[in-house]
A and B are shown apart, each in its own frame.
Chain A
Amino acid sequence: MTRPGSGTTIRLVDCAKTFPNGVKAVERLSIEIRGGETIVFLGPSGCGKTTLLRLIAGLESPDPGGRVFFDEEDVTSLPIEKRNVGMVFQTYALFPNMNVEENIAYGLKVHRMPWADRERRVEEMLEMMQIAELRDRRITQLSGGQRQRVALARAIAVQPRVLLLDEPLTALDALLRERLRIEIDILLHRLGITSAYVTHDQAEAMAIGDRVAIMNAGAIVQIGTPREIYFKPATAFVADFIGTMNRLRGIVREGFLELPGGRIPWDRGGSGEIEVLFRPGDARLAGDDGATLKGRIGASVFLGDRTRLYVKGVGVEELVVETTERRVFEEGEEVGLTLAPEVLVTLGE
């Protein structure tokens, strides 16, 4: 979907951020965000993702030695108002003293765009975000979703080099969040604008990111496409952060991986004791004869489209397995599981 060759490349080189009170929000890191790409910084609160975004925006400056480039231009010493970035905030940051139209026109006015051009551009934005009927409304008369549309329109109106979004959907309710997520995804890719998106919601990150950078304690732990992150997590932290992950300890011996409840064929190398991981949906329930692992149901939760089972007696911890079978599962019932070797993940692969 990304239009190659369009959009500004953002490069952070040796950037770290230590706050005056001594807190190191971002450890020294370098990263390149490709032109037209949407990158999502994902991590728990306090992991430094917002600070990293603010470094790109110019709202914070990196510790000495760090440099920020937009394409070949060194923007490290430029304040935000000279960087031409569009920014969307969790709290919208719309100006309450102006109506919708004036909010969108604000950046254009600041840039001294002639009146006629300005009118045209505002018109375009109103239409693009489907908020034309709200043009005369005051900000206080808008719902959260409408406000975020206005905020997006305002940020895009000035045709920024990069678009930065700081948890733009966090303040909205779940249903609206999901719908706007799709809209933003379409919008960003159609515009072909380089964007950085900060969130703590992994589903949002998966849906929107061309690449996702998982952050923890001020460092980027892993960066890759949503699929890479999901299926090939580099560390236990990533594996756990992106949804539920089961862990099994096993021993590699003679072409088999021997697990507490059985064994499966293994040709992926390694020797001695290793740890393997798998997602809840990747285990299949099987009858007694076909099963490679055997356990007992500790508890089951009916989720509507599927049933989640907590299986005891296979790993050290309970396993979480999800099945679409429509029968009722009893506590204490014996179940057999099969695991295809390819669904098993070994860390750092």
Chain B
Amino acid sequence: MRRRGYGFYLQLAFTLLVCAFLIVPVGMSIVAGITVNYVQGITSGLTFHWIAEVWNLYAETIFRSMLIALSCLVVTLLIGVPTAYVLGKRPGPVARMIEEFLVLPVAIPGLAIALALIITYGGFREFRTSWPFILVGHVLYTLPFMVRAVLAVLTTMDFRTLEEGAASLGASFWQRFFGVILPNVRPGIVAGSLMAVTLSIGEFNLTWMLHTPTTMTLPVGLADSYASMRLEIGSAYTLVFFVMIIPLLIALQLYGTPRGRPRRRVQEEATPAIAAAARRATGAAGSQ
């Protein structure tokens, strides 16, 4: 008994074809990175030599990229979370406008932003040739993702009433912020953080303009190796990049997307009159 017509298999074949079209180059690249001689093909044997070579040539860019990504995370957390809180607390036309402005760097080409940064701050030589100069660009680019992720969670949870509840129990502003607000926006903070780190590590547009020979990052180094090294080294470098970025992407999928919280329906339990218990509590209240 055949339940599936040829239409199904046609669609399946098409889907597999598209997947192959996208995935095969990735596989090829990885294979190229561990092949002794790519021109001869895989028959020439497999080796970790190219990866070692990449490590010799570009280890610095890898560590720099990690440093910038983590610094970018710290800065976007410090600026982004309070910004989201304030925007959520005082909604209105002004808040809307600030939010829109924050998103601008995502829409404007990275090259243009980089150029603007260079024109404005390029004169400060020490700053221009240091990695924090790149960090500024990355923060500009990733900040809206943090703000939006946190704001999205804030707006769904009626945090103003939560805060009022905490305040009525005697909690000061800081106690409320750290004890109630932050723990409850954690999903937004996690999503925003993963976004910030992932985007920062892979950022090329801005960085290509902002970097100097001494402040090369991983993606810029990748472009450099493609342009001036053997194909096998470029491919091995890609492999290193995958190893760094894929765990982050998986984490983003796991924690970044809003999930339905498990919700158990609970039968309202019949409670007898609470008079007796209340009497005991009266004694307790009176004893104070």
Contacts and interface: CB of A to CB of B under 8 A. Distances in A.
A190 B175 contact: no
B258 to A, nearest CB: 14
Interface string B262-273: 111111110111
A81 B277 contact: no
Contacts of A57: 168
Interface in B239-271: 261-269, 271
Interface size grouping (class) on chain A: 35 or more
A203 interface: no
A176 B162 contact: no
A145 B270 CA distance: 10
A140 B263 contact: yes
Interface in A135-159: 140-146, 149, 154-156, 158-159
- The main secondary structure of chain A at its interface with chain B is helix
B161 A124 contact: no
A85 interface: yes
B164 A59 contact: yes
A129 interface: yes
Interface stretch (B46-54, B219-227, B279-287): B279-287
B161 A156 contact: no
Contact of A106 (B166, B266, B268, B275): B166
Nearest to B263: A140
B255 to A, nearest CB: 16
B213 to A, nearest CB: 48
B27 interface: no
A193 B282 CA distance: 10
B141 to A, nearest CB: 31
Contacts of B164: 59, 80, 87, 89, 93
B158, B265, B268: which has the most chain A beta carbons within 10 Å?
B268
B171 A95 contact: no
Interface string B21-54: 0000000000000000000000000000000000
A155 B269 CA distance: 21
A128 B170 contact: no
A312 B30 CA distance: 91
B169 interface: yes
Nearest to B161: A93
B17 to A, nearest CB: 44
Contacts of A82: 170
A86, A87, A142: which has the most chain B beta carbons within 10 Å?
A87
A190 B275 contact: yes
Contacts of A183: 271, 273-274
Interface in A69-124: 79-82, 84-87, 89, 91, 93-97, 106-107, 110-111, 121, 124
18 contacts: A81-B168, A82-B170, A93-B161, A93-B162, A93-B165, A94-B165, A125-B281, A128-B277, A128-B281, A130-B272, A140-B264, A142-B266, A143-B265, A146-B269, A155-B169, A160-B168, A187-B278, A191-B281
Interface of A: 57, 59, 79-82, 84-87, 89, 91, 93-97, 106-107, 110-111, 121, 124-125, 127-130, 140-146, 149, 154-156, 158-160, 164, 176, 179, 182-183, 186-187, 190-193
